[in-house]
Structures are given as C-alpha cells and as structure tokens.
Structure 1
Amino acid sequence: MSPHSNILRLLALLPVLGLYAAPIQLTAHLRQSNLTALESTFWEIADPKSPRYLNHLSLPEVAELIGASSEDIDSAAAFFAEAGGYDITVSNLRDAVTASFDGKPDVELTAKGLPRKSTHPSAVEFLVRHDDLPASTTTTTTTSSPSPLKIAASSDDSSPSYTISNIKEAYGIPTDYQATHPDTTQMVWGPGTFGYSKAKLEAHKIKEAPLINMDKVEFWTENHGTSGGDNFGEGQLDVDMITSFGLNVTTLVANTNTSASTEETTGFGAALLNFLTDLSSREEVPHVLSMSLGSLSSASCNLLCSEAVKMGIALTDCQAYISEQRQVCMYLSDDQSDRINTALQVLGARGVTIMGSSGDGGSHFSFGPFQGSGDDSAIADALNEVSCKFQMPVFPTASPYVLSIGGEMWEGNSKHPVTWAGYGGGSGAGFSVQFEAPPHQKSSSTVSDYLKKPGMPPTSSYNANNRAYPDMSAVGVMGTSQSCPITAGIWSLITDIRLNNGLPPLGFVAPRLWQVAEEYPGEAFEDIIGGNSNTSCSNGFPATDGWDANTGFGRPIWDGFVKHFAADDVHD
C-alpha cells in the first residue's frame, strides 16, 4: 500500500476520532446591483442641500437596491452545496451567501473548486474564509499598553496634562454632560486580540471620568479579545475614550475575528470586510462607529513595491517583506477595498456616522520607517526612499465614506494646539491614491486654496484630485487611536440631542461638516496651526490657517457643534 493511501485512510478517520478542526465558513460575496444608484442615493442623503437629506434607507430598501438576483443567489448556494457545504444562508442584503464546511483539509476544499476562482459561478466576485474560532476571554490582571510609537506625551512634569476633564474644558464640553436618550448607541471595533478589561475601565472611571456608566458598556460579540495582545491595548484605549466623552451612551465593543493574522497580514482586510458586511445587513445598527485600526491602503502598498522594483528590488522579495511587517500592508487588493467602501456606503445611508483614525505615520508611513537587517536592509532602505518620495495614504480613513480624524497635541497648554507628533510618527494626512475627491470637496475651493500656500510637498508625490483627509482632529497624544474615539463620543452626544428632539441621526456627516466649517469659520471648529506630516521625511503637509491636509478643520467647539449639528433649522 502506498504512503498516499495511508494518509487518505488517516484523513477518513479524523472525523470519527474528533480530530478535525472546528467547522470553517466560506462567504461568497456576490455581484451587487445598482451600485451607481447607491452612490447617488448615498450623497443625496448626506447632502444638506438635497431634498432627500437624512431620509435614511431601511434595510429592506437597501436590499432591494443592491441585492443580487435570485438566479445569482441560487447559483452560489448550489455551488456550496455541491462542495459539501451546509447551513447555507443568505445575507439580509441579499449580496452574500455563507456556508459551513466540516473541518476538511484545505487540499480537499481546493479539489472541490474552493477557493479557486476559475471554478466559481460568474456571480461570485470572491470568497472569504472565516474559521469558527472559539471565543476568547479576557483577564483583568494585565493589559498591554499601546505601541510606544503612539505615545507622544512626555512624562516630564512640564508637559501639558491631557486629563479627560482638561480635554473637555479645551473643547468647551461640560464635564458632567451626559446622554439621556435610551436608544443612543456607539460602537468600537477591532479583530484579533481586540477587547477591554472591565477592571481597567473601572480604574479609568475612578481616576478620570467618574460618570462613566459601566452598565451601558457591553460586548456585541462572543469574542472578547485576549489580554496582553496588541489590539487589546487598542481596544482598551477605544473604550476608555469613547465612554469618557460619550457619557451614558450605550457602548458596544465588537471583535468579529480572533485570528492572529488579522493583526499582521492581509487577514485584517478580510476581517474588516466581514465585519462591515455583517453589520450593514443587521436589523439594528449603531448611530456612531469608531474604527481606530488600519494600515497603508492596498494602492499604497502596490505603489511601494512597483517603485522598489525600479530600484532593483525583486517584486516577490518586496511583497514577502511587506507582508511580514506588522500592521503595515493588511489589505488583499483594491477590489477588496472597493467592497469595503460599498459596505461603508450602506451603513452611512442607513444613518451610521463612521469615523476612522487618520493614522500615526504622518503622510508617508503606517507608523514609522521600515526596519531591516541582513538581506532585508536593502529592501527596507528602498521602501523608505519610496515612502518619502510619495505621500502614502492609509485605509479606511482615506475612504470618501469615512469621517477622518487627525490628532492634536498642546504646546505649553490647551490654548496652543498643534499637530500631534512623536517618536518618529505623527498625525496621518494627505490624499488617497485610489479614491477621487467626494462631491463636497470637488465643489469647494478649500483644498485647492490650501495647496497654493507655501511649504507644500512636491505635486508629483500626491494626487490633488483625490480624497483629501483628515476632516477634523482631537487630542491624539496616544496616537489617532485616541483622537478617533474621543471624537466619536462627542458625535454620540450630538446624536443624543437630535434623538431627544425627534430628529434623525446624522449618518455620513462630512458634507455638512465641510459646509459648516466653510460658512461659519471659527464657530464649530478651532483652527490648529503648527506641525507637519513629514515625520522622518523631508517633505509633508503643513498645518496652516483654515483646513489643512494634516489636522483638517481643527478641533471641536462644543457650543458650535450643538448649534450647527444638533438642530437642522440653521441650514434650511
């Protein structure tokens, strides 16, 4: 008997012995319908000047608009069934079919045409695998601190005091102001080890924000993260900040994937896609979503390696190197980013205000320069040269469907805000490589006027016709992973006022934000002047008067926020 026969006999026994891994799931993302109509509808709902402003779509309306045809759904379901899939379900948006498979070896799934694209039905754009991993639990003894790159505040006694009360005072927010509507909901998300410790939050409450309502903070998922992991520190910071500023708002903590690959490689893009497509097809969605995690966009990573090849670096070597860099290039393709964007559009059209951190590597890096030793030194050097030659945007913050949040810090005290920078990094900034400018930027001279000012980077290093970011900023001395949930909590309070007044949530607020900032300068945003997105490079975007591709329109002014965003009559 051949060795191969013995292997096959062993594989046949594995289910009996209970040695197969837990079931895996495959989701077939189907060709969606009417995406052009979704795009136009999304902007009409978000445009304060449109008759459809804030007339958000219901879940059935979205499904009717973009759902796949019955024939396409049936073909995907039959494809899975023929390959041994079971528990086959169709998403509420009718744009995805999911099936479970017993823990079969990858080679067996591949033999059945999974996940080889050449065998997929034509309606299937791509497959995403998400294993049914056991939910992890947290401990309350230790949590990791954010990466040192993300901590800019000095421990020196002369540094400003970035307490919750001091930040609120700087923005004019009463320290005891709390939400009162029972339905106001905010969410933070992350994969891998992302989570939070209730004991740590309780300690933060006692020290910094005594009015945090612990009873209104809960996990949205069975996955609770893993104490000590990198993303657990991110999750703790997210929860601490969003609950401190969105006081008494129901806070949902979501971790939809516990795979370690989501913290390092392209598994993150798959996790983000799964989360957003799942959330967008739920009956209930949060009013505010804060996303602090991200990496260089797929377009940025493609640019990195294509330019490195011109410098003599082999494409395969470059791709292998960047795939090993932690939280640097975490998206599979531009097509994946496009599908993520569609999910962001759906959520915005349903009334969710989505915020993303602008990044911690200025306008050139994900965090900081590449490091290499031995054979990798030449690759790292080449990539650093390319990174400084171009402005490299991160994703999802550079999406035209996300409100991008930059970071500020204070010189001396809170009355002197400048761009956050520290440990070789700094507030993310710049222009998307792949997404064109949204309508509210195209119709305005704000961006073009800014680019006429002195001190700009070479025009060849960015595309001035594409989406410019960030939109606004908040304190980010622990990186923009701090400024994003701070801002999200503030928008939750504005949403709470609206709900109490019988008004709909703001959904995608960027067009209105730009309108307010341009028509009422200095009322809702305090300008931030000082600093540059160059980090360790010789060029970058300066923070100047007015909007800039570094701090956006500046930091929030509470009274102006209430005046211009909590009511709608000022824009009729």
Structure 2
Amino acid sequence: MWANSLLSLLPLAVFAFARDRDHKVKEQLVAPPRGWTLHGPAPLDHLVKLRIALPQSNFPALEDHLYQISDPSHERYGQHLSNEQIEELVAPCPESVDAVNEWLASHGIEGDDVGRSPAGDWLTIKIPVSLAEEMLDTKYHVWKHIGGEYLVRTTSYSLPKTVFDHVELIQPTTIFGTFRKLKSTIHSISKTPTEDTSQNAAPVASATGVTVDASCNSTITITCLKQLYNAVDFTPSADNTIAVTGYLEQFANRADLQTFFEDQVPAAAAVHSTYTLISVNGGTDPQNGSLAGVEANLDTQFAFGLTFPAASTFYSTAGSPPFIPDIGTPTDSNEPYTEWLDFVLSQKTPSVISTSYGDDEQTVPLNFAQRVCQGFAQLGAKGVSLTFSSGDGGVGDGDPDPATQECITNDGTNSTRFIPGFPASCPFVTAVGGTVFIPEIAVPFSGGGFSNYFSRPSYQDAAVEGFLKGLPKGTYAGLFNPNGRGIPDVATQSDFFKVFIEGEAFSVGGTSASSPTFAGFVALLNDARFKKGLPALGFLNPLLYSRAVGGFNDITVGNNPGCGTEGFNATKGWDAVTGLGTPNFAKLLDLVS
C-alpha cells in the first residue's frame, strides 16, 4: 500500500524515461487524465490487444466522394460506393505496409499473428505487456479511476524512426475513458404507473397539425410516435433494413420483444417477428431473462416496432469484464467501435444503424477519434445512415445531474469547459437530441454543444452561424468552441418510453430513446424510396441541412443546463439543444421521395 501511495505522488515525468536513440515519441499525455491515479506496474504477462493504424492513403478523396453522393443538389447524389472502391481509397501505401511488417517481424510477429482490417489500414496484434513495452519503448502501469475501475495504460509511447511516419497511432496506449468505454446514454428508468390517469383526457395538438392521444404526455408508445411525427397513414413493407448496436454485454431479449409487440404492434406479434443476430468479435445472444439489457431492449423494441415488417438486425459486439489487478487474467481490450467497424465495413450492411452509446469527447485521444470518425465516413459512402444519441449531460459531461458535473478539461490546464460527446461530435454521423411532452419542448438532459475536435462542416455553416449570431454577446465565452461541429443535428422524444424488461413494463428516458426513434423514421423514408427504385438515403446530414430542412418541427422552448450554467436555449432554427427539430414524416416523405 505504501508503494502504491508513493507512486501516485510521483510526477508524470518520472515515467518519461530515457528513450532508445532509434525511437521518437509518437504520443504523450500532458498529465494523467482527471480522475485517474497510478495503482502500480502492469503485470508483464498481461496480454494487450494493440491496434495499429496505418495512414489511409487517400481519405480526402473518399471524403469528397461522400459529400458529392450525399448532396441532393449534386449530379452524383445517391451513387454510393462499393466496398472495393472504399477499400482502394483508404488502403495504406505499400511503403507503410512493408515498413510496419518488417518492424513486427523483427519482434517475431508475422503471418497469422497479425489481424488486418478489410482495407489493411488497421493491424491487430495480441502480445504481453513485456513485449509491448519493448516495441513502444514505454512502461505500462495499472491505473485506477475514482469510480473504482482499472485500466492498463501508458502515458507516452515511442516508435522506431523507420516506422514513425508509417504509423498514425497505436491503442490502447493513452486512451483513458471510463473503463466502460461506451457508456449507455440511458437517463432514467422506473416502473410504469399501474394506472394512466390521462387515458380519458382530450387529445392534444402537435406541431405537425395532427392530434395525439393525451396519454402520450406520460407514456410514449409506437402509436404515440407515429401520431406525433405524422406517419400514421404510412404502411411499411418488408423490403427494408434497420439495425441497432449492442455493446458492453447489453443483450436484447426476444421474449420481451414479443411482449412489446403484443402490447404495441399486434401485427408483429401475430407472426412472432424477431430480429436477426449478428455476432461481432464473439458477441452472444443469451436469452436468460435476467440478462436482458435496458438499453438493448429499448433500442430493439422501438426501432423494430416502428419499422415492422422491415428486416431487423441486432449487432452484439463482445465487450470485456473490468481488469482486476489482483487476478492475472488477460481481460483488457480495446474500444469496441473499431472491432465493430472492421466487421461491418466488409459486410453487406443494413441501410440504417442506430447506436445509443457514447463518451465524453475529451476522454478519447484526438487521433483515435479522428480515425474512428473516418470509419463512419466509410459507412456513409456505402450508403448507410448512422444515428447516435447526443448524450444525457446537457452541455456538461457524462454525469446527467448538472449539479454534480465538474466539466474540467483533462489537458493539464484544469479549465472549465462544456464537454461535448463522442461519437455524436463526428461530422459523419447524425446526432439525435431529445424532447419531451406535447407540444414538444427540449428535454433538459439533451446533449448539445460544439466539438473541440472537429471543425464545423460546411453543411452546418448557415444554420449554426445563425444560432451563434442570436446568442447575446459574450454568452459562455471560453466555455465552448464556436468553430466546432454543432451537436445535435435533430431530435425526437426521449422520455417516458414504455419498454418491456423481463416481461414487465418500465418507463425509460434518455437520448438512448431518441436515436432508435429517429433511425426508425429514416428507415421508413428509405422504404418509400425503395418502392420508387431510388437508393437509400445514406449519409443524412447534407440533405437534412438543405432540401429536407423544411421537414422538421422547430422546437423553441427549453434548454440543456450543465457545468453550472443554464446551457443553450432552444430557439428558432437550428439550436444546440434540439438541432433542426423533430421530424414531420409526411413532409420529409415529399421532400426525399
């Protein structure tokens, strides 16, 4: 214990020991991330799964293609790229492949010891800490988080000069998130009331001009969403696809899905509709009721309930239990987004995929966030629409309680800043914020703000600049990056969702509900396009901010407090609480088909 206490007091510089003359520092943290303390040396036989990113040879060209095929005013709109075309654009140059192969071989790593992504731009090796320290001229330690989790990480690593320019990054090295790398954005959960006192109340008017059952002010169902967003008269077909992702041992339950269908989608219940499981990296599909995940059940029930009879997929991506320093088992693993991306980029993919997980942007190293974001761009180029929850901390960090948010940067300056979420901050995904009640107002926990990593994309310029000009001069000066990518893009209802877990009905809230809801309506739009022989919508944002901007209900009431502030206000036009607003499906249908 004394040794551990002493280690925690030593300055970070102690670990920046003398480097091999042939090595150059590739990445180094200014200070240990806030909330982490040194626990002790990493066991030398502990296995780490290193992912090595080689520079993508021509990503700017892929980005150009993506924007052309996603811009409804461009002649190439909808002409999505094939897997082969995408892989050719992002494949590393032969010089990089050769240099890195030679480096690995010099350490006895070659052939089947190296896993390779479809384009060859990511390499994966599983080696003991002792070898990783030798290869990276570094020292791994066990770090403990204030929340009790442990990680095996280093604060600095180096590469031989011969491969320095041929490797973009290596992880896990300096990535310090909460150990649950993708924390669900579920905000609240409670058992539903045994009696709904609003059932006999008069219907309420929505922004779409249609009436909505009064009960929808306290309980959100499939019927509520279709009424609220003007899709009651649309009949979906089976010629459509949608998927949701599951991480961190979050498992969907088929019996609960059937109970949900019996309650809300009788036609699906009548044919015992269910999802197709796709296992990624060993992900499983246990059907023990006690293993049912709130997140996974919420996502599958509402995404698949909205789109029945579309073909539905649940991606189960294996996670890992926390590393326990007293047990020498190799349990440490990577950020699972990359495992999932490697898999889906090589497959035939559903046209819409929803993800309800995320983390504070600052806990993900910039270069790693950029590479993951580029992977999402590749999916967009294939014609896949990706929706992500915007988060449940308002303008603050992952803590949904504004009163306990610290909002302190982890760059060594300990400055107070708004904390955007990632991957919602990636400009190649559609970030979905939250609303509540009818008429709709912004839900206070709706994640929103501006990225500190990604600059504002051109498709947002007019909308976001209008919002910024409307802010009183000096509002939150220094607390956010006005030139960053704005979050969210759109919003939907995000509270009081009636979800079935182990056969019982619960009320669930969070932007975890918003992402699968919006994804469901995107899938319905694709359905209409497919019936006319049109391609899937693919990467949505250039369309949403241009031709489709008139297809949203503007939300002008509410705010998203955090970091000791009231956050941003919902206002006319785009805002950093609800984005462009909530969908009016009937209008969007006319605009996109």
Match of 2:304 in 1: 243
Task: Answer yes or no: is 1:434 the counterpart of 2:453.
Answer: yes
Task: Answer yes or no: is 1:149 the counterpart of 2:205.
Answer: no
Q: Distance in 1 between matches of 2:375 and 2:430?
A: 15
Secondary structure of residue in 1 paired with 2:470? coil
Task: Answer yes or no: is 1:107 the counterpart of 2:130.
Answer: yes
Q: Distance in 2 between matches of 1:70 and 1:435?
A: 29
Aligned match for 2:356, one of 276, 292, 302? 292
Task: Answer yes or no: is 1:550 the counterpart of 2:577.
Answer: yes
Task: Answer yes or no: is 1:471 the counterpart of 2:514.
Answer: no
Match of 2:3 in 1: none
Structure 2: unaligned runs, 5 residues or longer: 1-44, 139-156, 174-183, 199-216, 324-331, 496-508
Provide Cα deviations, 1:341-370, integer angstroms capped at 9, x if missing partner. 110111111111011111111111223358
Deviation at 1:121, TM superposition (A): 3.0
Match of 1:279 in 2: 344
Quick one: structure 1 residues 198 and 114, their matched pair in 2 at CA, closer, same or farther if it must change by over 3 Å?
farther
Question: Which AA in structure 2 matches 1:367?
Answer: D
Question: Which AA in structure 1 matches 2:493?
Answer: V
8 Å contact from structure 2 (residues 185, 389) kept in 1: no
Task: Answer yes or no: is 1:511 the counterpart of 2:547.
Answer: no
8 Å contact from structure 1 (residues 405, 487) kept in 2: yes
Q: CA RMSD in A?
A: 3.5
Question: Which AA in structure 2 matches 1:390?
Answer: R
Deviation at 1:455, TM superposition (A): 6.5
Match of 1:461 in 2: 479
Match of 1:201 in 2: 257
Aligned match for 2:117, one of 87, 91, 107? 91
TM-score, normalised to structure 2, is 0.71
Quick check: 84-93 or 485-494, which moved more? 84-93
Quick one: structure 1 residues 121 and 278, their matched pair in 2 at CA, closer, same or farther if it must change by over 3 Å?
farther
Q: Distance in 2 between matches of 1:544 and 1:96?
A: 43
Q: Distance in 1 between matches of 2:391 and 2:567?
A: 14
Q: Distance in 1 between matches of 2:292 and 2:414?
A: 25
Q: Distance in 1 between matches of 2:407 and 2:354?
A: 34
Provide Cα deviations, 1:506-545, integer angstroms capped at 9, x if missing partner. 1111111111354xx3xx2112221101157333111122
8 Å contact from structure 2 (residues 185, 358) kept in 1: no
Deviation at 1:468, TM superposition (A): 1.1
Provide Cα deviations, 1:534-566, integer angstroms capped at 9, x if missing partner. 15733311112222211112111121121112x
Q: Distance in 1 between matches of 2:336 and 2:272?
A: 28
Match of 1:121 in 2: 163
Quick check: 475-484 or 464-473, which moved more? 464-473
Secondary structure of residue in 1 paired with 2:566? coil
Q: Distance in 1 between matches of 2:277 and 2:579?
A: 32
Secondary structure of residue in 2 paired with 1:366? coil
8 Å contact from structure 2 (residues 238, 311) kept in 1: no
Question: Which AA in structure 2 matches 1:92?
Answer: P
Aligned match for 1:355, one of 359, 381, 387? 387
From the two aligned structures, give the one with the greater helix fraction. 1
Quick one: structure 1 residues 153 and 36, their matched pair in 2 at CA, closer, same or farther if it must change by over 3 Å?
farther
Match of 2:210 in 1: none
Quick one: structure 1 residues 195 and 80, their matched pair in 2 at CA, closer, same or farther if it must change by over 3 Å?
farther
8 Å contact from structure 1 (residues 419, 530) kept in 2: yes
Secondary structure of residue in 1 paired with 2:250? coil
Q: How does 1:53-92 map to 2 (within 5 A)?
A: 53-85=77-109, 86-87=111-112, 88-92=114-118
Quick one: structure 1 residues 153 and 361, their matched pair in 2 at CA, closer, same or farther if it must change by over 3 Å?
farther
Match of 2:275 in 1: 217
Question: Which AA in structure 2 matches 1:127?
Answer: I
8 Å contact from structure 1 (residues 370, 381) kept in 2: no
Structure 1: unaligned runs, 5 residues or longer: 1-20, 131-145, 299-328, 373-378, 568-572
Provide Cα deviations, 1:254-312, integer angstroms capped at 9, x if missing partner. 232321359xxxx89721123223322x14122111111001102xxxxxxxxxxxxxx
Secondary structure of residue in 1 paired with 2:451? strand
8 Å contact from structure 1 (residues 287, 352) kept in 2: yes
Quick one: structure 1 residues 186 and 71, their matched pair in 2 at CA, closer, same or farther if it must change by over 3 Å?
same
Provide Cα deviations, 1:135-161, integer angstroms capped at 9, x if missing partner. xxxxxxxxxxx8873349985846533
Quick one: structure 1 residues 63 and 362, their matched pair in 2 at CA, closer, same or farther if it must change by over 3 Å?
same
Question: Which AA in structure 2 matches 1:125?
Answer: E
8 Å contact from structure 2 (residues 66, 380) kept in 1: yes
Quick check: 37-46 or 534-543, which moved more? 534-543
Quick one: structure 1 residues 191 and 382, their matched pair in 2 at CA, closer, same or farther if it must change by over 3 Å?
closer
Identity %: 27
Match of 2:520 in 1: 489
Provide Cα deviations, 1:36-63, integer angstroms capped at 9, x if missing partner. 2222222122112222222211111112
Aligned match for 1:417, one of 429, 433, 440? 440
Match of 1:302 in 2: none
Question: Which AA in structure 2 matches 1:506?
Answer: L
8 Å contact from structure 2 (residues 236, 527) kept in 1: no
Secondary structure of residue in 1 paired with 2:447? coil
Quick check: 156-165 or 29-38, which moved more? 156-165
TM-score, normalised to structure 1, is 0.74
Q: Distance in 1 between matches of 2:49 and 2:226?
A: 45
Task: Answer yes or no: is 1:165 the counterpart of 2:223.
Answer: yes
Secondary structure of residue in 2 paired with 1:255? strand
8 Å contact from structure 1 (residues 177, 247) kept in 2: no
Match of 1:185 in 2: 241
Deviation at 1:66, TM superposition (A): 1.8
Provide Cα deviations, 1:449-494, integer angstroms capped at 9, x if missing partner. 2233366842332222221121111110011000100111111111
Secondary structure of residue in 2 paired with 1:150? strand
Q: Distance in 2 between matches of 1:383 and 1:110?
A: 28
8 Å contact from structure 1 (residues 83, 109) kept in 2: no
Question: Which AA in structure 1 matches 2:488?
Answer: P
Quick one: structure 1 residues 162 and 153, their matched pair in 2 at CA, closer, same or farther if it must change by over 3 Å?
farther
Match of 1:396 in 2: 423
8 Å contact from structure 1 (residues 287, 353) kept in 2: yes
Aligned match for 2:62, one of 38, 47, 62? 38
Quick one: structure 1 residues 381 and 279, their matched pair in 2 at CA, closer, same or farther if it must change by over 3 Å?
closer
Quick one: structure 1 residues 26 and 451, their matched pair in 2 at CA, closer, same or farther if it must change by over 3 Å?
closer
Quick one: structure 1 residues 388 and 242, their matched pair in 2 at CA, closer, same or farther if it must change by over 3 Å?
farther
Question: Which AA in structure 1 matches 2:586?
Answer: D
Q: Distance in 2 between matches of 1:382 and 1:397?
A: 20
Provide Cα deviations, 1:170-216, integer angstroms capped at 9, x if missing partner. 112227732331xx322212322122111111111111222336545
Question: Which AA in structure 2 matches 1:223?
Answer: G
Q: Distance in 1 between matches of 2:529 and 2:522?
A: 11
Q: Distance in 2 between matches of 1:205 and 1:387?
A: 49
8 Å contact from structure 1 (residues 195, 253) kept in 2: no
Deviation at 1:383, TM superposition (A): 7.7
Secondary structure of residue in 1 paired with 2:533? coil
Deviation at 1:128, TM superposition (A): 4.3
